[in-house]
Amino acid sequence: MLENPVTSGEKDRLKHALKLKQVVRAGWTRFNIENPETVASHCWGMGLAALLYCPEELDREKVITLALIHDLAEVIVGDKTPYDNISKEDKRTAEESALAVMLEGHPRGEELQNWWQEFEDRTSPEGRYVADLDKLDMGLQAENYEIDSGEDLSEFTNASRRMVKDSYLFKFIE
């Protein structure tokens, strides 16, 4: 069986994407949390939840893919929070451009960019479900950190309860 060689560009793209493992989730840095999670670990948590709990009527590959790539642009733009002085529109534009750079030339680049748009705009059932997974992961991580650190992270757990719309996922945080 012949294998396609890996180009230096593909290797560089993957190495660049793997730097997401070094981007710390900025929201946790405002608190006394030892070793706050990275953006990549957040995406992994969402991917695991997607694998385990994706409803049958949704496209599981799309849901898992969105969970894994929804924050990929943060390799370039960083993890921006409401406490950073950036408008939602500017954040969206920066992330859209960064993702385009990350996916440029990839055979599925256009498809993945379109799926990401669906997540951002909540225009597909999969995009809406992954948006709920995003907030569920945040809320559950906050619960873990509260136990470990003693910090009051109710702003995160309350936001999670407010924002998760899927009735099954909501049961995890009631």
pLDDT in tens, 119-141: 999 999 999 999 999 999 999 99
Phi, psi at residue 24, to the nearest 5°?
-75, 140
Q: Are 56 and 45 in contact (CB under 8 A)?
A: no
- Taking only the tens place, the pLDDT of each residue in 12-30 is 989 999 999 999 999 999 9
Q: Which domains does the chain have, with CATH numbers?
A: 8-170 (1.10.3210.10)
- Taking only the tens place, the pLDDT of each residue in 69-114 is 999 999 999 999 888 889 999 999 999 999 999 999 899 999 999 9
Which pTM value belongs to this model?
A: 0.92
Q: How far, in Å, CA of 166 to CA of 143, rounded?
A: 19
What pLDDT is stored for residue 3 in this prediction? 67
Cβ atoms within 10 Å of 25's Cβ, excluding its own: 20
Q: Are 82 and 102 in contact (CB under 8 A)?
A: no
Crossing angle for the helix pair 125-149 and 154-163, to the nearest 10 degrees: 160
What pLDDT is stored for residue 2 in this prediction? 52
- Taking only the tens place, the pLDDT of each residue in 16-67 is 999 999 999 999 999 999 999 999 999 999 999 999 999 999 999 999 999 9
